[in-house]
Structure 1
Amino acid sequence: MTADSAIDEPQVVETIGQRAGRGLRWSLLGTFITKMGSFAMGLALAHILAPADFGVYAIAIAATAVLMHINDVGLIAATVQWRGKLEDMAPTAASLAMALATLIYGLFWLAAPAFAAAAGNREATGVVRLLALIIVIDGITAVRSGALMRNFQQGRLVTANAVGLVANAAVAIGLALHGTGPASFAWGAVTGAAVTGVMVFKFGEVPFRYGLDRAIARRLLSFGIPLAASLGVEAFVTNVQFTIIGHLTGPVLVGFYLLAFNVSSWAQNTLGQAIRYVSVAGFSRLSEDNDAALSDGVQRSLPLLVIVVAPIIALTSALARPLIGFLYGDRWEPAAPVLTILVALTLVRMVTGLCVDALMGAGATRATLWLNLGWAAVLFPSLWVATQHDGIRGAAIAQVGVGFVVAIPLAAIALHRSNVKLGPVATALIRPILAAVLAGVATAAVVRYVGSIEFFQLAIGGIVGVAVYVPAAIPRAQLLEWIQLIRRRRQPAAALD
């Protein structure tokens, strides 16, 4: 049996849920390890570099993140969702991904000075050009990354990402200590991406062939172009804020905002990335059966997602000041009020992200485009006005408000049009959301009476918040059922020992 046929033949002994569950466990473990490593690296750099350096890097991120989502024209997702043999489409997909990534990088290299000037800092040009090299690496490895996700081989992706992170940290911290400034971020990121790319290319087990079949190309692009446009708009929604805020407030304040945004995104970056590694493939397989299977998958996934994420948001908001002070020091204190508000955006991004994954799995990529276009159309003017009125705090309020009022309803409408029934979901979300509010209030109240030592505020406030949330959010019968399920999963492992 060839590597390609092994990718495409279904495993008789495992259900889709079992394979996705195994992949999700690997994704969660790997994403947790890599995000903790990224957090440690960011913490070290925050103590070495100045807030203005973070502001320059924020401008580069704003550009590169958008390009990263459009450079492969949706071909990673198209590989995961492909109906048929992978070896038939791999040469065409690989050729398209590599050619388009190289073309996009060349065009952006020319446009980088104008972009940096529009963001209010011409000094960011070199960093933008350097960091954008990641899109070329991503284009070269696109099909192989998709093949790993398609076959739920998240363990290999975990290994590649972890090794790349080590290379990233070594280069970035080393250069920062030698006075390289914001370019240290970019050199570290490019080095890490190159190391990860080499490993993914090796692990992907896709024949090293390039070619162009016009029929396959049309089929790939009809799926991928709307998706790439949608993900590009999504990335634009997430990252253009740094350009707008940098233009209106300058590099120092946008540096504070970037730190708050990064801290607020911990849960989304860890759980959201791990879920996306398996959710597109899982929803795709479910949609092959019927709409009812896809609808049931969404109905099960969304409440569980909110149950996990809601307390993280509530406790982070209540503990924002001691968290920033304890981890980053007093000079980063202006980021705390922004974090208190901005962390609520995590719920918006994770809910809409899972909805987009379901739509992608169902092949409804045009619906994801309209969702993100609607979000962007309201967000950009709101963000501009709010930042002018109240600085970086106003920007945070605009992000969260538009997310809840516009983005989530648009995602619900898109799912409804794809025959996903959301009635049971709305009912299931009420209890965990109210419990999270109660936990946040309790945590904030406790913090006021435990003294000024930040460590004790975090420890005691966190314990109280969790103690309030769990019984309020999860029915006792369901909690006992989960505990029994965990024990049953552990029994086979104990028997093997």
Structure 2
Amino acid sequence: MEHTQGAQPTAVDEDPGEPGTPVSQMGEIGRQAGRGLRWSVLGNLVMKAGSFVMSLILARLLVPEDFGIYAIALAASQFVIYINDAGIIAATVQWRGKLEEMAPTATVVAITSSTALYVLFWVIAPFFAELSGSQEATGVIRVLTAVNLVYGMTAVRSAALLRRFEQDKLTKANLVGFLVTAPVTITLAANGAGAYSFAWGQLLGAVATGVLVVLYANVRTGFGLDRPMAKKLLVFGLPLCVTLGIEGVLLNADSVIVGDALGAKELGYYLLAFNISSWVPGLVGTAVRYVALPSFSRLAEEDRDSVSLGVQRAVPLLLSIVLPVGVLLGTLAPAVIAFLYGERWGPAAQVLSFLSILMVVRMMTALVVDILAAMGATKSTMWLNLGWAVALIPALLVGAHLDGIRGAAIGHAVVAFVVALPLAVLAMHRAGVTLAPIVSALARPLLGAVVSAIVTLLLARVVTATPFVQLAVAGGTGLLVYVLIVVPQAVLRQLGGRVTGLIPARSR
């Protein structure tokens, strides 16, 4: 359940607008969401830093085959987690009435759904493992998917915290869970547990997080089944559940296909690259998703103008943040892999170069899915991900057989850019969101990304020293170029003035 000071005031803060206008409504919701987002980003930053350190340790305790077996189990677990609660979390967050009215029924539905799915995957675990090319993954799948039982039991309480923008409590619960996961995983790995070290570490961490979520939420859910209420929840939740289930396929089909076609060792290289490409979606994307659904749900209660205005501000901002990371990972992948994990993980670099494209698209489509869900357009989210999945599966199969793990990564990136992005734009347009103003706002980030990529690649060819030097010189210069192009000069001057003001007078 992986669940600041000095921030510049936004346009909403500067101009609150007249009471009742879309701008004033956005201002109030924006302040609540901003607080939740800061806590989410802070928590994710700490957890990702901890996960990164843990991955460095595990890369030296385990072999690529262990990562490959874990990747297969993770694919099963991640697919289950997307459909685990039958859409109850999202339905609870956007519920228009009192939480107490629907909580007992929602709790029963979520627990029933998660239990049924766990039993199903316990039975089919051997077949899933064999399909993925590693029978040894069966037991790991059965342990890791038990995490989703905990998620089902705490679904309504997690949703209550999100609904109230109490991301600080979720963040604290997740951090405690990680403090359990990390030592358990490392200790088991050091004692020869192999892929099971991941599974048991995550399960015990999820239990610790779940206990705190129940305590923090302070919601009396009870148990009960109101059939009309259950029907209303499922009418909203099931299309979104299908959407997220397809999203699970999108994120994990490559593990099954690569494992079956190329074996656990190649899959281990692929998983390492995929994990690196998921750092930003895990850090920024998860934090954004914690606040996007409740924020746009509140805006959707007002009118579509409020939603459109929110989208026009959110999309360029998010893209501006993720593009430079995508450029650096894509252009300096060999240096990133060598510096962080050593030369023996070198084959992962050819995968990371292309998965960086997928990372950017994933961030944007995830935001679109949350916006559409907040507007109640859950069927549109289903068709978006279904179209993506239909194109992706054959692309992965062909790519893996033609060019190994590199071919699978290329297939993933091409389908994301050529199929998923246009479908996301079409879905937003059909939902009534005004997108035209976004086009001009994207010009500078896209230009900055292109110029930054060219500069980084040229410097990487010239600077052939250690990976660290390549990252510092080529990556640092590329990032600077991006900032100079994308960030307005007035903002840069203002930041420069603040930095200068921090320097003691004697030093100037």
TM-score (norm 1): 0.93
Shift of the alpha carbon at 1:265?
1.2
With over 3 angstroms needed to count, the CA separation of the structure-2 counterparts of 1:367 and 1:209, relative to structure 1, is same
Equivalent residue letter for 2:267: V
What's the CA shift string for 1:359-385, capped at 9, x where partnerless? 011111111000000000001011101
Counterpart selection for 2:372 from 334, 356, 359: 359
Q: Secondary structure at the match of 2:291?
A: helix
Alignment of 1:452-467 (within 5 A): 452-467=465-480
> 1:441 corresponds to which residue?
454
> 1:392 corresponds to which residue?
405
Residue 142 in 1 paired to residue 155 in 2? Answer: yes
Alignment of 1:376-455 (within 5 A): 376-455=389-468
Identify which range, 117-126 or 471-480, moves more after superposition.
471-480
Q: Secondary structure at the match of 2:154?
A: helix
What's the CA shift string for 1:2-41, capped at 9, x where partnerless? xxxxxxxxxx9x8111001111111111111111111111
> 1:205 corresponds to which residue?
218
What's the CA shift string for 1:50-81, capped at 9, x where partnerless? 00111000101111101001010011111110
Shift of the alpha carbon at 1:315?
1.0
With over 3 angstroms needed to count, the CA separation of the structure-2 counterparts of 1:284 and 1:480, relative to structure 1, is farther
Residue 42 in 1 paired to residue 55 in 2? Answer: yes
> 1:59 corresponds to which residue?
72
What's the CA shift string for 1:291-314, capped at 9, x where partnerless? 111011111000001111101110
With over 3 angstroms needed to count, the CA separation of the structure-2 counterparts of 1:78 and 1:466, relative to structure 1, is same
> 1:85 corresponds to which residue?
98
Q: What is the alpha-carbon distance in structure 2 between the residues aligned to residue 429 and residue 269 of structure 1? A: 23
Q: What is the alpha-carbon distance in structure 2 between the residues aligned to residue 178 and residue 437 of structure 1? A: 47
What's the CA shift string for 1:178-219, capped at 9, x where partnerless? 000111110111111111111111111111411111121111
Equivalent residue letter for 1:299: Q
Q: What is the alpha-carbon distance in structure 2 between the residues aligned to residue 19 and residue 193 of structure 1? A: 27
Counterpart selection for 1:132 from 135, 145, 148: 145
Residue 103 in 1 paired to residue 106 in 2? Answer: no
What's the CA shift string for 1:385-424, capped at 9, x where partnerless? 1111111101111111000110011111111111001111
Alignment of 1:464-475 (within 5 A): 464-475=477-488
Residue 300 in 1 paired to residue 296 in 2? Answer: no
Equivalent residue letter for 1:343: S
Equivalent residue letter for 1:43: L
Residue 322 in 1 paired to residue 335 in 2? Answer: yes
What's the CA shift string for 1:65-118, capped at 9, x where partnerless? 010010100111111100010011111111111111111101110010011011
Residue 237 in 1 paired to residue 259 in 2? Answer: no
Q: What is the alpha-carbon distance in structure 1 between the residues aligned to residue 48 and residue 235 of structure 2? A: 34
With over 3 angstroms needed to count, the CA separation of the structure-2 counterparts of 1:478 and 1:425, relative to structure 1, is farther
> 1:495 corresponds to which residue?
none
Q: What is the alpha-carbon distance in structure 2 between the residues aligned to residue 299 and residue 430 of structure 1? A: 14
Q: Secondary structure at the match of 2:434?
A: coil
> 1:278 corresponds to which residue?
291
Q: What is the alpha-carbon distance in structure 2 between the residues aligned to residue 263 and residue 71 of structure 1? A: 26
Q: What is the alpha-carbon distance in structure 2 between the residues aligned to residue 182 and residue 83 of structure 1? A: 43
Q: Secondary structure at the match of 1:84?
A: coil
Equivalent residue letter for 1:261: F
What's the CA shift string for 1:276-327, capped at 9, x where partnerless? 0000000000010001110111110000011111011101112211111111
Q: What is the alpha-carbon distance in structure 1 between the residues aligned to residue 329 and residue 390 of structure 2? A: 29
Aligned residues: 476
Shift of the alpha carbon at 1:434?
2.0
Shift of the alpha carbon at 1:231?
0.4
Shift of the alpha carbon at 1:474?
2.4
Q: What is the alpha-carbon distance in structure 1 between the residues aligned to residue 496 and residue 282 of structure 2? A: 27
Q: Secondary structure at the match of 1:333?
A: helix
Q: What is the alpha-carbon distance in structure 1 between the residues aligned to residue 259 and residue 313 of structure 2? A: 40
> 2:11 corresponds to which residue?
none
Equivalent residue letter for 1:168: T
With over 3 angstroms needed to count, the CA separation of the structure-2 counterparts of 1:483 and 1:21, relative to structure 1, is farther
Residue 259 in 1 paired to residue 272 in 2? Answer: yes
Equivalent residue letter for 1:339: L
> 1:156 corresponds to which residue?
169
Residue 176 in 1 paired to residue 189 in 2? Answer: yes
Q: Secondary structure at the match of 2:447?
A: helix
Q: What is the alpha-carbon distance in structure 1 between the residues aligned to residue 454 and residue 282 of structure 2? A: 25
Calculate percent identity across the aligned residue pairs.
Answer: 50
> 2:21 corresponds to which residue?
none
The two structures, once aligned, show a CA RMSD in angstroms of: 1.7
What's the CA shift string for 1:216-260, capped at 9, x where partnerless? 111111111001110010111111110001101111111100000
Is there any run of 5+ residues in structure 1 with no aligned partner, and where? 1-11, 492-497
TM-score (norm 2): 0.91
> 1:167 corresponds to which residue?
180
